Amino acid sequence: MAVYLSKALRQRLENVDDHRCAYCRTPQANSGNPMVVDHLRPRSKSGATIFENLCFACYRCNLFKGSQTHAIDPLSGETCPLFSPRRDIWNEHFIWDEAHLRIRGLTAVGRATTNALRMNNAVIVDARRNWVRLGWQPDANT
C-alpha cells in the first residue's frame, strides 16, 4: 500500500538512510528499484507514519519483514526484537563477511533480523558478487 509522506519527512529519511536499505544496506542505485517506506511497527499494529517509526528499505527486506516486529535468534532459539534502524546502530548488530557478499548477525537481534528478512538470499548475494567485481564495498560506517 502506498504511503503518503510529506516532502520534508521524505527528505529527512533520505538524508538519514542515504538512499540505501536500512536493513541490508543495498544502495538504491544497485537495487534497480526505488526504496520503499517501511514502518518499523507496522500500520496493522498501529504503527504511526512518523520519522521515528519509518525507514527506507529495499523491496525484498520490506516484503520479508512484513508485519513482523520480532523473530527467532537461530543461535539461542529465543524470540527477540528485529533490528530497528531508528533505535539500533547497524554495525553493532551486523558485520559483512570478508568478501562483502553476506551479512552476519553479531547479536541475537542481528541474527534474527538477517534470517527473518533473508538478507543473504541467493539473488542479493549474486548481485553483491557483481558489485564487488566492479569495485563496490560497503561503506566503512555501515
Residues contributing to the site for Zn ion (CB under 5 A): 21, 23-24, 26, 58, 61
Question: Please, which residue, 34 or 78, has the CB nearer to Zn ion?
Answer: 34
CA-nearest of 98, 108, 127 to 25 is 127
Determine phi and psi for 24, rounding to 5 degrees. Answer: -95, 0
Question: Please, which residue, 62 or 73, has the CB nearer to Zn ion?
Answer: 62
C-alpha distances in Å from residue 78, one per residue of 12, 81, 82, 103: 34, 10, 12, 20
Question: Please, which residue, 78 or 89, has the CB nearer to Zn ion?
Answer: 89
Question: Please, which residue, 61 or 112, has the CB nearer to Zn ion?
Answer: 61
Q: Which residues of 6-19 are buried (b: 16+ CB within 10 A; e: fewer)?
A: eeebeeebeeebee
CA-nearest of 29, 63, 62, 59 to 131 is 29
- Closest contact distance (angstroms) between CB of 88 and Zn ion is 15
Q: Alpha-carbon distance 20 to 33, whole Å?
A: 11
- Closest contact distance (angstroms) between CB of 114 and Zn ion is 11
- Closest contact distance (angstroms) between CB of 140 and Zn ion is 19
Determine phi and psi for 103, rounding to 5 degrees. Answer: -100, 130
- Closest contact distance (angstroms) between CB of 129 and Zn ion is 16
Question: Please, which residue, 58 or 108, has the CB nearer to Zn ion?
Answer: 58
